[in-house]
Amino acid sequence: MNATLRRLSTIVMVMFLALMVSTTWIQFVSAESLNSDGRNVRTIYSALARDRGPIVVGGEPIVTSVPVDDNYKYLRTYSEGDAGAASVYAPVTGYFAINGTVTGMERYANSYLAGEDDSLWLDRLQNLITGEEAQGSSVELTIDPKVQKAAWDALGDRNGAAVALDPKTGAILAMVSKPSYDPNTLAVHDSAEVTATSEALINDKPQIGTIGGEERFSVYGPTINRTINATFPPGSTFKLLTSAAAIEYDGMTPDTTIPAPNLYRLPGTSTDVQNYGGETCSSTGEMTLKDALAISCNTAFLGLANTVGKDGMQQMFEDFGFTESLDIPMSTSIGAYPGLIGGENDDDSDARIALSGMGQGSVRMTPLQVAMISAAVANDGELMEPYLIDNVRDSDLELVSQTKPSRYKSPFSSSTADALTEMMLSVVTDGSGTGAQIPGVEVAGKTGTAEDDPRSPTLWFTSFAPADDPQVAVAVVLENEGQSTDESTGGALASPIAAQIMQAAIAK
């Protein structure tokens, strides 16, 4: 072989080698990043050209893929295109858009819905051999349609959220967030229309009151699931956690007498905090822990938090897992507590710890977390891990997976849970939460009216029922719906909503 042929052969071999390396790099090393690139239209075409699996609630599909005559082949449809019905479930289902945005269960259960999960390898192999069109699996949720509808109807036109759990398993029975939106408007096969609708929803912050003649708006838009991704000051619902710490760590009981002055001076400051409406909790300046929770005495719990101390309060918050994100499978936001937030401005002074005793200051929680407090009390101190997927079935309706309930945390003992149940019963029987009473059913609960300067108070109620055999634990939040009057407290407005949700769950 002469020199010219050798050089040509070498060049050809180098070119082939370069081609092999380039192809290998693109198909294997860069495959994931290229597939996830929003500019990769082929990925969207491929995803929508597949018969994506349904999302099922109560045995009926609430999300389906409908065949259409365009390049995408299938149109993702929510509640058969009914805007009102789709809005009820939108914070749970999320949406699948052609611009690459996927949210809610559409995103977090995507591997099942798209038929790509590792557990479905046999189905994919069969499709490859037979040449049949690939189909996604159905994902059945734990949501109970009756409980979901009751929560939706009970919230009415108010901004807020409601979540209901089975305290014995952790199954989420209802997850409602208002205001909501119609996911069908984001599933259309027109990229420009999807982008315009998405931007409008992101910028649509609901008005949440007027302070001094100035309009106030929420920081959360309709596409935010307020039950798991919005945090609020929990107000007096947090007194349950303060009580749990006092009972578990300091050996207190519901009958332990604690100070309940008219004013409480925050340690290290000249600031005096009074009780709601300037009321007197006790003519003697002291009362039992049970009575303090029943009437939601602020000054008593300010002092109680400092009695427990920073270490005890922080420990109880962490023992609930509130500093950790959950995958339900959607990712939840974490809570905030003084000394556990991080950063230079994380103030865990005695004054801040005292304020935390009544759920104020820098304490922030999601409605799901507040419901988890009640769920732990209801389940003898065992907090079950919340979950949304009940089971997954392939295109032949064969069971692929079934969620098994599992313990998440054990924040306190069963004796502490018994004491808290006794105290929460008194709240509903003759305390601040009488609006949650259900004829013939013992309800345990706690009210909350959280100052949220410069906005109006945020209203809460959390509860479980029946007290002797708990079937449901609930949290309701009304975002900045209070007016600091007796007619607009958590007990007045939020507790009747919780009662309707609990009734639906008990009657199912």
Question: What CA–CA distances, in Å, run from 437 to 150, 205, 468, 503?
Answer: 16, 34, 15, 10
Kindly compute the dihedral angle of the four CA atoms of residues 365, 371, 377, 381, in this order, to the nearest 10 degrees: -70
Question: What CA–CA distances, in Å, run from 489 to 67, 163, 433, 477?
Answer: 50, 19, 10, 11
End-to-end CA separation in angstroms for the chain? 87
The reply to whether omega before 367 is within 30° of 0 (cis) is no
Catalytic residues: 236
* Tokens of residue 17, six digits: 């080698």
CB 120 within 8 A of CB 128: no
Which 3 state secondary structure label does DSSP give 453? coil
DSSP code of residue 364: B
Taken as a whole, the chain contains a residue count of 508
Q: Which residues of 67-93 are buried (b: 16+ CB within 10 A; e: fewer)?
A: eeeeebebbbbbbeeeeebbbbbbbbb
**Nearest in space to 310 (alpha carbons), one of 357, 271, 276, 259:** 357
State the Cα–Cα distance between residues 485 and 467, nearest whole angstrom: 30
DSSP code of residue 222: T
φ and ψ of 96, to 5 deg: -120, 110
**Token pair 């920081």: residue:** 219
**Nearest in space to 183 (alpha carbons), one of 76, 260, 262:** 76
Q: Which residues of 128-142 are buried (b: 16+ CB within 10 A; e: fewer)?
A: eeeeeebbbbbbbbb
108 alpha carbon, distance to own chain's centre = 14
Q: Which residues of 278-287 are buried (b: 16+ CB within 10 A; e: fewer)?
A: eeebbeeeeb
